[in-house]
Structure 1
Amino acid sequence: MNRYRLAHLATADRHGKPLVVPLCFACHRQSIYGVVDEKPKKPSVSRLRRLRNIAENPQVALLVDHYEEDWSRLSYILVEGRASELHSGNEHASALRLLRRKYPQYRAMQLEDKPVIKISLRRVIYWKGA
């Protein structure tokens, strides 16, 4: 999965209202990490709907896909998991190192005080066109 550059994170609030947002991510063992980075956000980070949804309902899905006009070459990986927020500690620091290794843009950002979204894998579905 780490060869993919972008995923889409699906969350839902306690009433089931969905939200899908793009997510830069890195994988390590049975976890996937993304950070709420310094790109402009409205509202403030603490009020982001994706984080409120995770607090209310930690069940999430993450989709990475490959599209080509030749549909026999289509593929996707769908991950179902449980999300949580990391705000500090060794795992938070390790996740930032993984993300900075994959995305050079993160190297110039001050991310140490930003929440990391951790997705603990529950189920992984892989599909490839014939």
Structure 2
Amino acid sequence: MSEPVSFTPRPRAARRHAPNFDAENFLRELDVITHRVERVAATPVEVFSANCPEYDSACMVIIRLAAFLEREEYASYMDALSSSEKRALRTTRNIAAHSGYQSMDDQLLWTAVTRNVPDMIARLRAAASRG
């Protein structure tokens, strides 16, 4: 009987290139977020719940937008958002990422993603375009 083969991790690959944090990349990410917003908006609020895939999309909208707040290279763009919007993004992201869906108000999340986020994205696009 032969010995079972043990797991052997492969060597870590060298980083191919440093990420580029220019306005073009920022705008591309806003496009991805916008597609998620559209997916959520196509779901009636009455059926929007943690049981539907669009709920995960809504959480990713918040998580990705909040991630921009943590990047120093995007700080000038994020000045387009009010301090209360930034605080709401951080708080909602923390609930989605750490507390779980049972702590989330489904209707409030749907409204934030479909009503508030598109306006924030428009202002962020304008800020990035001005450079």
Is TM > 0.5 for Structure 1 vs Structure 2?
Answer: no
Bigger CA radius of gyration: 2
Structure with more of its chain in strand, by fraction: 1
Q: Which has the higher helix share?
A: 2
